[in-house]
Structure 1
Amino acid sequence: MARSDELNDFVRSGLASGRSGDELAAALTQAGWSGREIAAALAAWLPAAPGLPPVPRPRAYVSAREGLIYGLLFLLLGLICWHVTMLGFEVIEALLPDPDQRYYYPSTSSMRWSMATLIPTVPLFLLLNRRVMRDTAQDSGRRRSLVRKWFAAMTLLLASLALLGDLVAVIYSLLNGDLTPRFAAKAALIAAVGALVFAYYRGELDD
């Protein structure tokens, strides 16, 4: 039996016998359990009501099926953000050409590749995301998925790194005297994409 199972069984038995959470916490602290472990074990149960045993609280879970769905959503979102940014860069370079460059020829091959990627990935992302939202509305317990929270955390981490790197690049260009309108527009595009992703997934970690 794992140590966590022993702790969980002890708390359940103690609550079932009518012991208070403070009494159980004191005994566990004396036995060497950490405050975090004790708090987690006590939070897993509601105190026993008259005529009822201790009631277990809902717990987080892991699902391989959801790992496939959320992993695919994660990859699709990455592709969408990358290619939207690349397309935006091409548009910015066309609208704000480099003064030292007499002629500018947009990379049509790169633009076609980005468009070819976005055409299937955007509808698929929206379809999968709509399905996830529908399933969550029907069963709020899906918000306790550890897979969902981990992919949301990774998405927020990458968005935060993109925003931080974008800010560092802007500050460096400003200090170096190289902050041109074209560079500022590209930095603003990266910030907008990162901020949208961050704003959308921020609530996933609060559930």
Structure 2
Amino acid sequence: MASASPELEQFVRDALMRGHDREQVRQALLAAGWSAEQIRGVLDGWAEVDFALPVPRPRASLSAREAFLYLVLFSTLYFFAWNLGSLLFALLEHALPDPADAQWQVARLTGSIRWSISALVIAFPVFAFLARHLAYDVARNPIKRLSPVRRWLTYLTLFVAASVLIGDLTTLVFNLLGGELSLRFVLKVAVVAAIAGTVFGHYLRDLRREEVADGGHAGSGRGVLWATGVATVLAVAAGVWTMDSPMQQRQLRLDEARIGDLQTLESAIAAWRGEHDALPPDMDALAAQPGVNLPRRDPAGGADYRYRRIDDSHYELCADFATDSGQRRARWRLPQAGQWAHPAGSHCFRRSAGDKD
């Protein structure tokens, strides 16, 4: 409801008390230059009941509970929209690789997908629950549609969505004029436009329902929520299918820890050789040095690391690995592991006394 001046409210009250009907009051105010929205807002504040005096309708007021619910609702909306876009971007980058992508960008994809899925699994149910709860509350008490905090946050959301759409289209035109369009870029622009456009359209329709006496098309909100839920489930399913399973990720982290331990052993062997001008005879001698604490045991409780001296300048470091380093790196287009590439199972790395990765 548009804000009205005290003079306008007092005039409407006095006119209704003197028995003038609403249409007469409306025409008089229109002739005086008041806007139709201002007039409607003030007239709607009085109930159309048969009584000697004008009967005021309940007016929207701000409560701490209502402010809390709407703040959580719109916060989860922003959090959800950001992470849905992030997940779709990561899936596009994985499905449509660009040779110009830096290695750090490729390496972060699996972590980005995992975080986005985690955020969506939590944020969307919270948002959907609050959206339905508040919609039912407004349906039972239509005056709450005029809640100040609801209107302020709705207009703020419209502003953010409109800004994103303008920036998105500007970026599209800029790249189009520069001849730098690619399929992946166009799809990313479409993702941003779809998310921001859906948010903008939904909340703009929600505001326009206030102009309809019966509250407008209440079912459209449920339809948007269901469609968003389906899109979210599909995006999460695609992300889960793309990334490694939780067990695989644990095995990868354990293999990375094993490589780190072997690199520590390699450094200790190099230090021994620098001090003694020879390779250590065995692991026990290497670990017996004062102040030295070497990793000798497998982090998952498997077979201990093994060291074998081959000759005066060559040795082997062995460990049991859970994964094949080449398969995952090829899948995610990561650089190969170099001297530390390994298959699944037991593997030994042959080193010379001068090697240092």
Indicate whether the TM-score tops 0.5.
yes
Letter in 2 for 1:54: P
Quick one: distance in 1 between partners of 2:203 and 2:135?
A: 13
Q: Output the amino acid matched with 1:52.
A: A
**2:116 corresponding residue in structure 1:** 114
Mark the CA change 1:38 to 1:120 in structure 2 (over 3 Å): closer, same or farther: closer
Instruction: Confirm or deny: 8 A CA contact 1:90 1:106 kept in the other structure.
Output: no
Post-superposition Cα deviations, 1:91-119, rounded to whole Å, max 9, x if no partner, equal: 10111111445974452222222222222
Rounded to whole Å, the distance in 2 between the matches of 1:187 and 1:23 is 49
Select between 85-94 and 110-119 the one with higher mean Cα deviation. 110-119
Which string of whole-angstrom CA distances, capped at 9 and with x for unpartnered residues, describes residues 61-100 of structure 1? Answer: 3333211111111110111111111111111011111144
How many residues align? The count is 199
Q: TM-score, normalised by structure 2?
A: 0.48
**CA offsets per residue over residues 120-158 of structure 1, 9 Å max, x none?**
212111111121122223222322222212211111111
Note closer, same or farther for the CA distance 1:124–1:41 as it changes in structure 2 (3 Å cut).
closer
Residue 178 of structure 1 aligns to a residue in which SS? coil
Structure 2: stretches of 5+ with no match in the other structure: 211-357
What amino acid maps onto 1:111 in structure 2?
I
Whether the 8 Å contact between 1:15 and 1:54 is mirrored in structure 2 is: yes
Which whole-Å deviations, capped at 9, do the CAs of 1:137-189 have from their partners, x for residues lacking one? Answer: 32223222222122111111111111111100000000011111111111111
Instruction: Select 1:176's aligned residue among 178, 194, 198.
Output: 178
Alignment of 1:187-202 (within 5 A): 187-202=189-204
Structure (1/2) with the larger strand percentage? 2
Identity of aligned residues (%): 36
Once the two structures are overlaid, the 10-residue window that deviates more, 38-47 or 140-149, is: 38-47
Q: Which of residues 120, 139, 142 is equivalent to 1:140?
A: 142
8 Å CA contact 1:62, 1:146 repeated in 2: yes
1:12 has 2:13 as partner: yes
**Alpha-carbon contact 1:73-1:128 (below 8 Å) kept:** yes
Greater relative CO (CA pairs within 8 A, separation 6+): 1
Alignment of 1:61-76 (within 5 A): 61-76=61-76
Label 1:127 to 1:14 Cα distance change in 2 as closer, same or farther (>3 A).
closer
CA distance in 2, matches of 1:68, 1:132: 12
Structure 1: where are the runs of 5+ without partners? none
The structure that has the greater radius of gyration is 2
Distance (whole Å) between structure 2 residues aligned to residue 204 and residue 52 of structure 1: 36
Using a 3 Å threshold, how does the CA distance of structure 1 residues 173 and 70 change in structure 2: closer, same or farther?
A: same
Deviations, residues 30-70 of structure 1 (Å, cap 9, x unaligned) = xxxx7359846566446896x52123355443333211111
The yes-or-no answer on 1:86 pairing with 2:86 is yes
CA contact (8 A) 2:73 2:131 kept: yes
